[in-house]
């Protein structure tokens, strides 16, 4: 079983749509969780950290279910500029000994 699994997509949605991405991770000792965004031919950039209680940042909502080892990202009111690949990321050791494990990413394409 892969350490971090995501649906690769692509997700093709119209502007204004709500879209949800899911991710599962295999290591129950995982310490911290993130969603990164990667634009074509660019570096990954942190979109948001994911906390146990769930957290929201504007149109983006992240949820974590430790029991199911499941992470989600919800994007409301999609914009054209949201088109990118969204990477689910898990830190399996924590702190400076951490090792960020990346999923393969889910590609989102928002159309006018």
Partner 1 sequence: DTAVSQTPKYLVTQMGNDKSIKCEQNLGHDTMYWYKQDSKKFLKIMFSYNNKELIINETVPNRFSPKSPDKAHLNLHINSLELGDSAVYFCASSQPGTTEVYGYTFGSGTRLTVV
Q: Which residues bind partner 1 (CB under 8 A)?
A: 31-32, 34, 36, 42-46, 49, 85, 87, 89, 91, 94-102, 104-105
Nearer residue to partner 1 within complex by CB, 16 or 98: 98
Q: Going by C-beta distance under 8 Å and a sequence separation of 6 or more, which residues neighbour residue 53?
A: none
Which residue's CB is nearer to partner 1, number 22 or number 32?
Answer: 32
**What strand order describes the sheet that includes 19-25?**
4-6, 19-25, 70-75, 60-65, 55-57
Complex with partner 1: residue 17 or 38, whichever CB lies closer: 38
């Amino acid at each position: 079983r892969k350490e971090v699994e995501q649906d690769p997509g692509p997700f093709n949605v119209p502007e204004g749509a709500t879209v949800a991405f899911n991710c599962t991770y295999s290591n129950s000792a995982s310490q911290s969780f993130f969603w990164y965004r990667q634009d074509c031919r660019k570096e990954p950039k942190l979109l948001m950290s994911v906390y146990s209680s769930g957290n929201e940042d504007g149109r983006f909502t992240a949820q974590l279910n430790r029991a199911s080892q499941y992470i989600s990202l919800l994007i409301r009111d999609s914009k054209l500029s949201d088109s990118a690949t969204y990477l689910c990321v898990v830190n399996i050791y924590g702190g400076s000994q951490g090792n960020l494990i990346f999923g393969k990413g889910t590609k989102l394409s928002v159309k006018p």
